[in-house]
Amino acid sequence: MSAAPMLILASASPRRRELLAQLGVNFTVVTAAVTEHEDPATDPRIMVAHNAALKADWVAARHPEALVLGADTTVFLEGAALNKPADAVEARAMLRRLSGRTHTVFTGLALRRVCDGLRIDEGESSEVTFKSFGDEVIEAYLGRVHTLDKAGGYGIQDQADLIVERYAGSLSNIIGLPLETTKQILTRCGLLP
């Protein structure tokens, strides 16, 4: 019986590491040294697919025998992507825009293996509806949650009761790695039974 192929997660996100670990697969983490495309005017599905592929391709070129999983997530509202906020001022502005509204969370997934030319690209979307809230709730939220590394300036897994009314679709997608889709991809590649 041959050994399972090595899996590398091409992501610096601690949330993606935690989610991937839930699938019970062994993996290592290699962060891709790439500049992600983050133009808010770009179609978010195209942007996250591009960034996921960019990360996976960069790491796969350096580890040609490994299966490399890249992922990228963004929040989309009214034709514009809300990526990671640059600072607390931008995080506040994003939360104000999202208050009382429904937005879409897109994640792009890219799996690569250079040695045999394996290329799989998938995407997932979920909807999140925020409660209506004012600056007091925003300040309370920002006081409890580190938001600068999260698309849209929030994490649904952190203090959601303050800001989230409901969601539809994959919760793990909203966090940053759609587990159902990831499991299907890894099963197709023989990493999971």
Nearest to 98 by CA among 71, 70, 138: 138
Nearest to 21 by CA among 183, 171, 155: 183
8 Å CB contact between 60 and 71: no
pLDDT band at residue 4 using 50, 70 and 90 as cut-offs: low
Q: Is residue 32 part of a domain?
A: yes
Q: Is residue 180 part of a domain?
A: yes
pLDDT digits (tens, 9 = 90+) for 56-76: 999 999 999 999 999 999 999
pLDDT digits (tens, 9 = 90+) for 82-95: 999 999 999 999 99
The one-letter amino acid code at 114 reads V
Round to whole Å and give the CA distance between 66 and 87.
Answer: 36
Q: Is residue 145 part of a domain?
A: yes
pTM: 0.91
Q: Is residue 193 part of a domain?
A: no
What pLDDT was estimated at residue 79?
84
Q: Is residue 1 part of a domain?
A: no
Q: Is residue 87 part of a domain?
A: yes
pLDDT band at residue 1 using 50, 70 and 90 as cut-offs: very low
Length of the chain equals 193
Q: Give the rounded percent of residues in the chain with a pLDDT score beyond 70.
A: 97
pLDDT digits (tens, 9 = 90+) for 166-178: 999 999 999 999 9
Non-local CB neighbours of 59 within 8 Å, separated by 6+ positions:
8, 10, 30, 32, 66, 68, 70, 112
| 47-83: b (≥16 Cβ within 10 Å) or e | bbbbbbbbbbbbbbeebeebbbbbbbbbbbbeeebbb
What pLDDT was estimated at residue 153?
94
pLDDT digits (tens, 9 = 90+) for 18-47: 999 999 999 999 999 999 888 877 899 999
pLDDT band at residue 2 using 50, 70 and 90 as cut-offs: very low
Q: What is the number of domains present in the chain? A: 1
Helices then strands, counting H and E runs in the chain, come out as 7, 7
Q: From the candidates 39, 72, 149, 161, give the one annotated as an active-site residue.
A: 72
CATH of the domain at 21: 3.90.950.10
Report which listed range, 6-15, 39-48, 97-106, is most confident: 97-106
8 Å CB contact between 68 and 113: yes
User: For this structure, is 72 an active site residue?
Assistant: yes
What pLDDT was estimated at residue 5?
64
Q: Is residue 66 part of a domain?
A: yes
Structural domain span for residue 13 = 7-188
Q: Is residue 36 part of a domain?
A: yes
What pLDDT was estimated at residue 191?
87
What average pLDDT does range 114-137 have in this prediction?
97
